[in-house]
Amino acid sequence: MSQRDKAPEGEQQAMNGTEDPTNDEMLVETDVSDGLSASANSVADNAETVISSEDINVWYGDDHALTDISMDIPENSVTAMVGPSGCGKSTFLRCINRMNDLIDVARVEGRLTLRGKNVYDDDVDPVALRRRVGMVFQKPNPFPKSIYENVVYGLKIQGIDADYDEVVEESLKRAALWDEVKDRLHESGLDLSGGQQQRLCIARAIATDPEVLLMDEPASALDPVATSQIEDLVEELAEDYTVVIVTHNMQQAARISDKTAVFLTGGELVEFDDTQKIFENPESQRVEDYITGKFG
């Protein structure tokens, strides 16, 4: 790993938020197609591909975690990654912004392009890539700083000159948090509720104006009200960003995503299609069994 691949302190802290203390997989038989929202399956046929994965394989040492993953993710949409624990969803997410570079034993092969450019080319700076591809983790992980400083953190460490007041207001508004915090911007981000902290992390991720937002189970540590706020927010964010979200919650995937990728044990992408198709009429029996909770 080269020096510049190393995450700055803040990103390293953010990495610490990836452990998975919960497992809310649907283990009972259920009809999740009821959750399909009006927005599901709404990606325009001519939507441009933003991320294209071509035969991506990932190994951790000798363990083959992802096998020949190929999919095209359209712009301004929500793509959900679902599948049982350990099937490689987070690993795939981390391929998109090269977070796997930070794991010494990880090896990635294949092509993964962002607007046509292979992010694994030698001339791609992973830090610059992560500016274009923001990430939000499972556990809200604001820094022990003020709300204001949390939002401008990425801009400051990257030395980006901007009207910080404007960025803070705009980012907090986009993250649906402004009204709740506008009078306490200089209080600690750690004093917010869990749901507010997660929206602060979303504001921090969008402050650097990325094109893509990766979200690794962003609501699984939150209560139902905060979860619902995050779901509404994700749908709104897809008007401006390409959102890729990992979730264990089938109803959440059905509610908020336009495309769904179903990974199954062994790091295999079994089906990738419009969310409505996956939940109402999947091609694969294994996918049908999984989404109806016949196996976890």
Ligand X SMILES: Nc1ncnc2c1ncn2[C@@H]1O[C@H](COP(=O)(O)OP(=O)(O)OP(=O)(O)O)[C@@H](O)[C@H]1O
Min dist CB 239 to ligand X, Å, is 27
Straight-line distance from the first to the last Cα atom of the chain, in angstroms, rounded to the nearest whole number: 36
85 or 158, CB closer to ligand X?
85
Task: Name the minimum Å distance from CB 93 to ligand X.
Answer: 8
Two tokens, residue 134? 């923001």
| Nearest approach, Cβ of residue 244 and ligand X (Å) | 13
Nearest Cα residue to 108 out of 96, 125, 124, 126: 96
Nearer to ligand X, 90 or 196 (CB): 90
Quick one: 62 or 183, whose CB is closer to ligand X? 62
- Angle among Cα 113, 40, 45 to the nearest 5 degrees reads 55
The residues that bridge with 273 in the sheet, in sequence order, are 260
What are 9's two structure tokens? 């302190």
Nearer to ligand X, 22 or 158 (CB): 22
* Spatial distance between the Cα atoms of 135 and 204, rounded to a whole number of angstroms: 9
Minimum distance, C-beta of residue 82 to ligand X, in the bound complex (Å): 9
Query: Which residues in this chain contact ligand X in the complex, by CB under 6 A?
Result: 20, 60, 65, 83, 85-91, 103, 105
Both structure tokens of 111: 């092509």
Report the distance separating Cα 41 and Cα 32, nearest Å. Answer: 15
Smallest distance, ligand X to C-beta of residue 270, A? 13
- Closest to ligand X by CB, 16 vs 85, is 85
Helix (H) or strand (E) holding 13: helix 9-15
